[in-house]
Structures are given as C-alpha cells and as structure tokens.
Structure 1
Amino acid sequence: MPIQIENLLSAIKQARETGGKRGFTQTFELSLNLKDIDLKKPESRISEEIVLPRGIGRPRKVAVFAEGELARKAKEAGADIVLGREEIESMQGDKKKAKKIADEYHYFLAQADLMPSVGKFLGAVLGPRGKMPRPIPPTADPAPLIERGRKVTRIRLRDQPTINLPIGVESLSDQELAENAKIVIDTVERKLEKGFNQIASVYVKTTMGKPVKVEVPK
C-alpha cells in the first residue's frame, strides 16, 4: 500500500518539532532508500523534473540563454539573468565565473539555437549538477516556462540507490510539505519497475534536524 498524506504529515510534524528554530530558514529534505535495483543498467537510473505543487517556499533563480526578441520577453517575464551568445562564449576561459553561474541559478532555459554553445562552453559545469537547460521552442512564450522553473525540483538516481532532494522551506505548512513530498514519491514509484515495492524506506528532516522515518503502510 503506497504512502499516504497522513503518514507524511506525521513525520513532517515530528521533524519540525525536533529540528527546532534556528537563526536561518531551514529546508525540509526528503530521502528515499531503494532496494532490488541494478543501477549498472541505464534503464534503472532516473533523471526527472518535478513541479512541486506548493513550490519550494522561497524564490528560486532562473537563468535564460537567449538573444533578440526572446531575450526581451525573458527579461519582461522576470528571468533573474539573461545571457546571450557572447556572454556564453566568454566563459570559455573563466571557469570561476561559469561555476558561479551554475551554483547561483537553480534552473536554466535556452533559446534552441544557443544550445550547442551552452553545451560547449558550460556543459562541463551544468551537466554534473543536473542543470543543463531546457530548450525554449522558437515561438514559445518564456513566461510560463520561467514560472515553472521556480517550482521545479529534480530527481537524480545514478550510482547509489538513494534519492535526496528538498521539498520546501519551513515557512510552508505541514500540509503543503506533505503534498510536495507525495508527488515526489508517486513519481519515483511510477519510474520503478516494481513500483512501491522497491522503496525500502522514506525519511524527512530539516537542514539541522535528525531524520524522521515515514511509517510505510503494510
């Protein structure tokens, strides 16, 4: 029987209580430990974007690689930074700047014809972070794509049978955090060959708190 919202609510409440108040806004983190999975097989690995229904609870920066009309629209839509071809190519000899861009911005979008340049000059820093940009279709309005990017979290399952990712900050309610966690778990279930039966355990925790196990229905 899959994990229910009630199971998540109980664990999140406990994690909030044990995590205590800190001098900064803590993030709730979700951990899924998997079993009976062979990650040597490419088909067993997971790389998925999930739009959290309640968002993360704080602004997340979106970068757009674009020029001309698309760049103008991206700026009007509130992109946190818009970089053109010249700026992309300038990072070839400036790894420090490239890494700063990769770390500072959460989500990346790119004009389709700039994708090769992004791959060539920034692929080495964006790829390992799971942040290669999504291409923007030529006639697309970038506004909804930028807004979507602010709510996205990523599932990456590579060489270890564990998934760790943020589901929101402590300013979100327990219900909102539980809804975010549920959509992540449901997505992972759909990606696994045997679904829920391959999830060994689930934990939630705050940044500075101890992990709290989510009770899994029998």
Structure 2
Amino acid sequence: MASLSLSRLSVALKRSSRSLHIRNYAIAPAKPAWVPRQYAKPSVAAVVPKAKVSTGTGAAEATVAPDELKVSSSEVPPPNGNNVETSNGNDTGNGASLEAATDWSKSYHGLATQAFPKEVSDILMAPIDSLDIEMKPDGLIYLPEIKYRRVLNKAFGPGAWGLAPRSETNVGPKIVSREYALVCQGRLVAIARGEQEYFDPSGIPTATEACKSNALMRCCKDLGIASELWDPRFIRDFKAKYCVEVFAEHVPTKKKKKLWRRKDQPNSSKLSVSSVRGSIKELLADANGEKKRNFVETIELQIGLKNYDPQRDKRFSGTVKLPHIPRPRMSICILADAADIDRAKQIELEYMSVDDLKKLNKNKKLVKKLAKKYDAFLASEALIKQIPRLLGPGLSKAGKFPTPISHAEDLSNKLVEVRSTIKFQLKKVLCLGVAVGHIQMNDDQVLGNVMLSINFLVSLLKKNWQNVKSLHIKTTMGKPVRLF
C-alpha cells in the first residue's frame, strides 16, 4: 500500500510541476499575416497593450509585456527607438522617426496614394518655353537638367524632394547604369534607371554622376514636367517652326551628313543676342556714315580658333543655308548639258558646255583661273560625274566643287539656294572667314545670319566653344568689331 501511495504522489507532483511551468511562461503571440515587401509600410513598430492569454488548462492567465509583442515590418526600425503607432493605415506620431526608418532602396511608401494640390500640379504641368528647349545634332530635342530641377524646386521647395538610389552602380564594358527613386515630400513618386556611356575607365566617375541626371529627367516624365517632348506631333511642329536641317561634309571622304540646328539659339550660345545686336548696329552705323562707295560692302564673320591641330585633328567642313542672302551679286557659272544651256540663256546665267570644259584639257593653270573667276558652280546631273575626268581636282582643292542640279529643279530657286549657303572649311591655318551679309541689310537680317553661322560653326568644332579664340564682324572697308 505504501508503495502504491508513493507512486500516486509522484504522478501528482509531476502534474503540478507542469501546471506551474505553464503559469510562469507567456504564450508567444501568433505571427502577423504575411504582407508583400513592396506594399509594406515604412518600418513602424506597433505597440501592443498588455493582454491576458489563456493557457487552455483552466483559469491560468499570463500577463505579457509590450516589448514582447512588438510587430515590425521587414524594413529597418527607427534608429532613435521611438515607437510610432499605426491606426487605419495612416501613420501618426513621430514623423522624424518615420522618415528615418524609410529605406528607399526597397520601400514604395506613398506611391499613388493621392494627387498633389492643384497649385503644385499647375507648376509641374505648365507648358514649357520654346526658348528653353535645346536640340542635339541628330535632331533629338530635350530640356536641360537644370530646368527640371528648377521646376521641382518651385513646386515643392528646395529640400522637399530628392533622388534616392535603389540599386548598386552597374558598370558595363561601355555603359554605366543605376536605378533611382524620385521622392517628393516623403512620398515615392517615380522610379527610373539612368544610363551613360563612357569611352575610358577614367570617365567612369563622371558617367556615374551623369546617370543621376538621366534618371531625374525620366522620373520627371511621370510628374508631367516637359511631357510635350514625348509627343511626336509636338516634336514635328517644333522642328518645322524653330529648327533647320543642314549638311556637314567630312573633308577626306567627302561624305555628307545631315545635322539639325535651331534657327536661333541664344540660350546655348556664349554670346547674348543683345550684345551681338549692339555690335551690328555699331558696324552698320559706321559703314553707312562713311562716304558712299561704288559697290555694296560685304559683312564678313572672322573666326580665330585655338587648341586645334590641323595636322592631327579632323579638318572640318560644313555648309549651312542662311535665312537671308549674304551676297546677292555672287557670281555663279553652270557646267551644263544641252537642256540646261537653254535654261541658263533664259535667265542670263553664265555657262560652260562639255566642249568648253574639254578645251581646258586639265590644264592646272586654266582650271585655277576658272575657279578664281566665279564664286560658285552648278553642274547638270548628267555631267557631275565627268567633272573630275574633265577638270581634275582643281575645283575641289579650291573648295568650289559644283552643286548638282536636275532638270526637274527650278534654276532660279537653285541660284537663290546657292547664294544663301555659306561654307566653313578649315585648312592649314587656325582662322577662317565667311560672308554673312551686306550693309544694305537691316539689323535683324544681319543678326539672324550671324547667330546661325556662329552656332553652326561651334557645332563643327571638336570641343565646341573651347576651340573658339575670337569672333569679329567686319565690313569690306571698315574696322573689325569684336563679338567674342
């Protein structure tokens, strides 16, 4: 009996020990439901009040401390340790802790929650000024990065927006890329990947910084800033109104390439329109105040270059059509077939037939004399391929190789086009000059020709304005006036 009693007592003690064990330890709360990472709120610790937890074995209860029941998101908790309560999905409490806790490399906080106020939207979606738009030689129009930054500063205020990197810098064989998030007033607004080419490993740091600029422009598209630049119809209308297509020629290969330029580019030039206009007025006043001459003086643009080696660097050559004819009395001769000879006679244009060209017999002196006699040449399409065989390289060396004309083209209009076209060609010296007008033109006509000529020249240079040493305008008999 004693043995049986001891056995029952042992079992009772074990049961009592288990009950005490349950009473002394808190039951861990159930894990919160899984939420996709991209939709998780910024790292906010939700404080759970003291709760009574039933053990299920009777009236046993356990008091659970708040620190044991904190529920946090998958992101980094606030560094200052302050708790931020959440209610109905709206964050309240310590705002500084919320911002510090947001990991913008992963978070999508605030994306598409609500629209910005009307006054902000009006600034972001305001039409862009046509003078702010720039154009690349390949015809791509764009808004400079600083313009985007100014719009954002005006809409949100300096310091209320920024770019946050969302990935590591990816360096490829030729391209550097990195993903950025545009954050405005604590909300994620847009995500874009910026890209930039580099040609040498030493240029990787610069390309990395350029990725940020590229990403900013792409992010601003989502806010409606300069959204017109993504509209094909707007691009076509803008080019037709403000831009002109010109040809640039590579001297060694004689290959021509189409380039796009704005008709007037005061913002992209180191010259202000007002200063150039003042210099032109001064030049014309001096020319018209002198005694009258027996000819109309030409206005010439004189260019001095620097940091350019004609022996090593590419000798550029390019032609551009000016809005106003700079030399109306420019002498032109057409190398014509029978049909074009008849057309030349009707408008009293000087011409040379195939027989006339054969008489020169490739004589260098005679060809050189012919090149000096005329300012430019036209040639019938049927003869253009025979010119080198009939005359040799003389006209090409003089920079006066004939412009082809077909029988379908109007000869008078072609003459206007040739007289309106000027050519920049670098030879062995670092200076060149072109006619940009005459003293019988008004201020605006000369200004339009001068600005277009300068901007086209700068586009041909290897380092753009860094290769320009000086710019002057001068009448035939007058003193030069410095522009740059």
Give the TM-score normalised by structure 1: 0.82
C-alpha displacement of 1:168: 1.6
Instruction: Give CA-to-partner distance per residue, 1:52-84, whole Å, 9 cap, x none.
Output: 2110253222211121324334444x3621221
d(CA) in 1 for partners of 2:473, 2:414: 29
**How far apart, in 2, do the equivalents of 1:48 and 1:28 lie?**
20
Partner of 2:481: 212
* Code of the aligned partner of 1:88: L
Per-residue CA shift, 1:64-115, capped at 9, x if unaligned?
Answer: 1121324334444x36212211011112277676445323322211123423
1:1-218 paired onto structure 2 within 5 Å: 2=269, 3-19=271-287, 20-24=290-294, 25-41=296-312, 43=314, 45-76=315-346, 78=347, 80-92=349-361, 98-137=367-406, 140-214=409-483, 216=484
174-183 vs 94-103, which deviates more?
Answer: 94-103
Residue 36 of structure 1 aligns with an amino acid whose one-letter code is N
- Could you list the per-position Cα deviations for residues 21-41 of structure 1 after superposition, in whole angstroms to 9, with x for gaps in the alignment? 342322111111122222113
Deviation at 1:9, TM superposition (A): 1.6
Unaligned runs of 5+ in 1: none
Report the Cα distance in structure 2 between the residues aligned to 1:210 and 1:101, rounded to whole angstroms.
31
- RMSD of Structure 2 on Structure 1 (CA): 2.6
Shift, 1:50, TM fit:
2.3
SS in 2 for 1:58: coil
Stretch deviating more after TM superposition (168-177 or 18-27): 18-27
Q: Distance between the aligned counterparts of 1:75 and 1:187, measured in 2?
A: 36
Residue 115 and residue 57 in structure 1: after superposition, are their counterparts in 2 closer, same or farther (change >3 A)?
Answer: closer
Q: 1:103 to 1:199 in 2, by over 3 A?
A: same
2:373 and 2:273 map into 1 onto residues whose CA distance is: 33
Q: Any conservation in 1 of the 2:305–2:469 contact (CA below 8 Å)? A: yes
SS of 2:284's partner is helix
Relative to structure 2, which stretch is displaced further, 159-168 or 138-147?
Answer: 138-147
Distance 2:312 2:292 in 1: 42
Equivalent AA in structure 2 for residue 15 of structure 1: L
Worse-matched range after superposition: 114-123 or 159-168? 114-123
DSSP-derived class of the 2:384 partner: helix
Residue aligned with 1:184, SS: helix
> Is the CA contact (8 Å cut-off) linking 1:73 and 1:142 kept in structure 2?
yes
Shift of 1:126: 2.2
Separation in 1, partners of 2:312, 2:449: 29
CA contact (8 A) 2:362 2:390 kept: no
**Relative contact order, CA 8 A, sep 6+: which one is greater?**
1
Query: In the aligned structure 2, how far is the partner of 1:194 from the partner of 1:93?
Result: 40
The alignment partner of 2:282 has SS state of: helix
**Contact 1:79–1:146 (8 Å) recurs in 2:** no
2-structure distance, mates of 1:109, 1:95: 20
- Contact 2:327–2:435, Cα closer than 8 Å, also in 1: no
Q: Is the 8 A contact 1:29 1:166 kept in 2?
A: yes
Structure (1 or 2) with the larger CA radius of gyration: 2
3-state secondary structure, aligned to 1:21? coil
In the aligned structure 1, how far is the partner of 2:363 from the partner of 2:467?
A: 43
Single out whichever of 146-155 and 120-129 deviates more from structure 2. Answer: 120-129
Deviation at residue 202 of structure 1 after TM alignment: 0.8
- Residue 161 of structure 1 and its aligned partner are, at CA, apart by 1.7
- Provide, for residues 117-149 of structure 1, a one-character-per-residue CA deviation record: whole Å limited to 9, x for no partner: 432443454233211112335755544322211
Q: Percent identity?
A: 24
- Partners of 1:168 and 1:102 lie apart in 2 by 22
Aligned-partner Cα distance in 1 for 2:399–2:313: 16
How many residues matched? 213
Aligned letter for 1:181? V
